[in-house]
């Protein structure tokens, strides 16, 4: 699974962090990847970041939603095949 969160800054830049899926405790868990560590990425953090304009781009939206305990149609989870520029920090929704 590929997933990353894109967080806009006030300066107009976009911060991009990889999300990794881990299996354990009977369910999948997402972790956000930093240079030196991985930290749990939970539903409350997704909502907080989404409220400031962040979104998750993934090739498996259903698995991301399931890991976060969200409905499959949750706003802010974007299928990777609907955007251009995958792999760069600047991602744009196709129209």
Where residue 53 falls (left for φ over 0; alpha for ψ -120 to 50; beta otherwise) is left
The b/e string for 66-75 (b: 16+ C-beta within 10 A; e otherwise) is: bbbebeeebe
Q: Give residue limits of the domains in the chain.
A: 3-83
State how far the alpha carbon of 90 is from the alpha carbons of 19, 44, 70, 86, in Å.
17, 25, 26, 8
DSSP-derived secondary structure letter, 73: T
What does the longest C-alpha to C-alpha distance in the chain come to? 41
CB 38 within 8 A of CB 31: yes
Predicted pLDDT of residue 28: 84
| Residue position matching structure tokens 């990889």 | 18
Per-residue pLDDT reduced to its tens digit, 18-50? 999 988 767 789 999 998 999 999 999 999 999
How much is the pTM? 0.82
Predicted pLDDT of residue 85: 58
Per-residue pLDDT reduced to its tens digit, 46-63? 999 999 999 999 999 999
Q: Which two tokens stand for residue 77?
A: 């989870």
């Amino acid at each position: 699974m590929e997933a990353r969160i894109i967080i806009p800054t006030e300066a107009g830049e976009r911060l991009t962090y990889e999300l990794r899926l881990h299996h354990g405790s009977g369910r999948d868990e997402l972790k956000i990847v930093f240079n030196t560590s991985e930290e749990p990425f939970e539903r409350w953090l997704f909502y907080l970041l989404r409220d400031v304009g962040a979104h998750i781009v993934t090739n498996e939206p259903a698995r991301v939603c399931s890991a976060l305990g969200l409905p499959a149609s949750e706003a802010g989870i974007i299928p990777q095949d609907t955007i251009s520029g995958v792999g760069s920090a600047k991602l744009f929704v196709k129209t």
